[in-house]
Structure 1
Amino acid sequence: MDDTNALLTQPVFAQAVQFIWREAEILDRKDYRAWLDLWSPNGFYVVPIDPLATDFAATLNYAYDDHHMRELRVQRLSSGYSPSVTDAARTVRTVSRFTMSSDSVDMVDVRSAQVIVAYKRGVSTLFAADVEHRIDLSDGGPRIVQKVVRLIDSTDALNAIGFLL
């Protein structure tokens, strides 16, 4: 379903969009522990290199994090021992262009566009991506089951990705 006018009237769509906006705000605050709480224990955070990849386990990715790897990534980002963390970029995320597909009211797939402005040492860097969230809306509140961030320049040499997309 991708008729935006019809989507705007659906409570499930509104709940999913608000959840994604909340995730963006949490990441901009660098509240990585709160970000971990947004996830289903069996969820995957994926940043593929190949823009057409669908079998993430069989392809090379910038990130392919299950529960354990997300915890390790957050530990690294929160420890203060990593050079990329001690001087971490400040970020502002804009998430828009939402579309939703769903087989049920409990599990929804939301696609969006995300632009991140990262500011570090007097330099602003833009990251643009198509993002796919699979969100479990069943009992216990929304949880991310899968988040795939497809950077528009993923096949180029990338640097300064010392934060979560």
Structure 2
Amino acid sequence: MSNHDTLNGFSGPLAQAIEFIWREAELLDHKHYAEWATLWSESGKYIVPIDPDTEDFEATLNYAYDDARMRDLRIERLTAGYSPSAVDAAKTIRTISRFRLVEAAGDIVEVNSAQLLYAYKRGVHTPFVADLNHRIRFTDGVPTLERKVVRLINSTDSLSALGFLL
């Protein structure tokens, strides 16, 4: 997509970022974790904080704080078939909307959005609602994730079934 293309009324860097974010959600919903892993930069961080207001992710407790190594281990757990919960993993559908451009400087685009994720497993639907922040680097038009923060609206509650990627 070029800077002149538009997407549902959005244009330029925001349109490119939205297309990338939707593609990421699709990969996760279809459990294409190996392809999802290729979306990330080597230094990228995947973060699901417990404290809804923290910005100091390294100094606070998180549900996930994954660098490349930890993302690879998470994907291995989800795909290797050793864990009963991974073999019988929930089916998911993500809807992402309410996009707001935070910053577009140089080759970095940062976008806030809202995610509604429904997981279905053994006849039970479980909603996960979150504010998202994606920091995406475009190098020669190719996007890579530098950081994804998933702020669950109920992150301070007792949560279960977070084994899949949010």
Report the TM-score, using the length of structure 1 for normalisation.
0.93
Query: Which residue of 1 is the match for residue 91 of structure 2?
Result: 90
Contact kept in structure 2, 1:12 and 1:105, CA below 8 Å: no
**Percent of aligned positions that are identical:** 58
Q: Give the secondary structure class of the aligned counterpart of 1:63.
A: strand
- For 1:54 and 1:162, the matched residues in 2 are separated by 23
1:16-40 CA-to-partner distances (Å, cap 9, x unmatched) read 0000000000000000001100001
| 1:70 correspondence with 2:67 | no
- For 2:153 and 2:10, the matched residues in 1 are separated by 30
Query: Which residue of 1 is the match for residue 158 of structure 2?
Result: 157
- For 1:9 and 1:153, the matched residues in 2 are separated by 30
What code does the residue aligned with 2:158 have?
A: A
Query: Which residue of 2 is the match for residue 138 of structure 1?
Result: 139
Unaligned residue ranges in structure 1 (runs of 5+): 1-6
Listed as ranges, the matches of 1:1-165 within 5 Å are 8-139=9-140, 141-165=142-166
State how many pairs are aligned: 159
**Greater shift after overlay, 139-148 or 67-76?**
139-148
* Greater percentage in strand: 2
- For 1:115 and 1:67, the matched residues in 2 are separated by 25
Unaligned residue ranges in structure 2 (runs of 5+): 1-7
Q: Give the C-alpha shift of residue 10 in structure 1.
A: 2.7
Regions of 4+ moved over 6 Å:
none
